[in-house]
A = this chain, B = another copy of it.
Amino acid sequence: MSANSRLTIAAHALAWIGLYQRQGHEVATSEQIATSANTNPVVIRRLLGELRRAGLVGSRRGVGAGWSLARELTSITLLDVYEAVEPGPLFAMHRATPDQECVIGYGIQPAMQGIYESIEETLRRELARVTLEDVLRDVLAAPR
């Protein structure tokens, strides 16, 4: 399926900023985060831009520019991040409209939509149960 790592990278960035701030720094740069995540700074800026739109982080420009958390890690859940960075639904419908003359073709989309909605709702509940604080704790618990 999705082979899409946006949620992973966004969580990585938030955990990184959170830890960095706990070490006494005010802001983190996209350059630093990109190095840790082994990707390009622009990719990080794009993702953090979406998180800013969702009110999870803030950014400063000019000298001493960089990113900081707008909320405590304890109050940010994976659902917040997921909704900020994931555009579409989990499962897609047919690319082309199915044959409306066919009973199945006619009824399949409303049927699957209803089923998918309730499944996604469950997924959301699960994502909402994990905070970024949990993530950071798990990250730091990794044995060296």
What is A's interface to B at a CB cutoff of 8 Å? 1-5, 7-9, 11-12, 15-16, 19, 35-39, 78, 86-99, 102-108, 110-112, 114-115, 118-119, 122-123, 126-127, 130, 134-135, 138-142, 144
Contacts and interface: CB of A to CB of B under 8 A. Distances in A.
Oligomeric state, in number of copies? 2
Interface-centre pick from A5, A7, A38 (highest chain B CB count, 10 A): A38
Nearest to A14: B104
Contact of A104 (B12, B95, B106): B12
Contacts of A104: 12, 15-16, 19, 36, 139
Contacts of A103: 19, 139-140
15 contacts: A5-B93, A5-B95, A9-B94, A11-B108, A15-B104, A16-B102, A36-B99, A37-B98, A37-B105, A38-B98, A39-B96, A106-B144, A111-B141, A119-B130, A122-B123
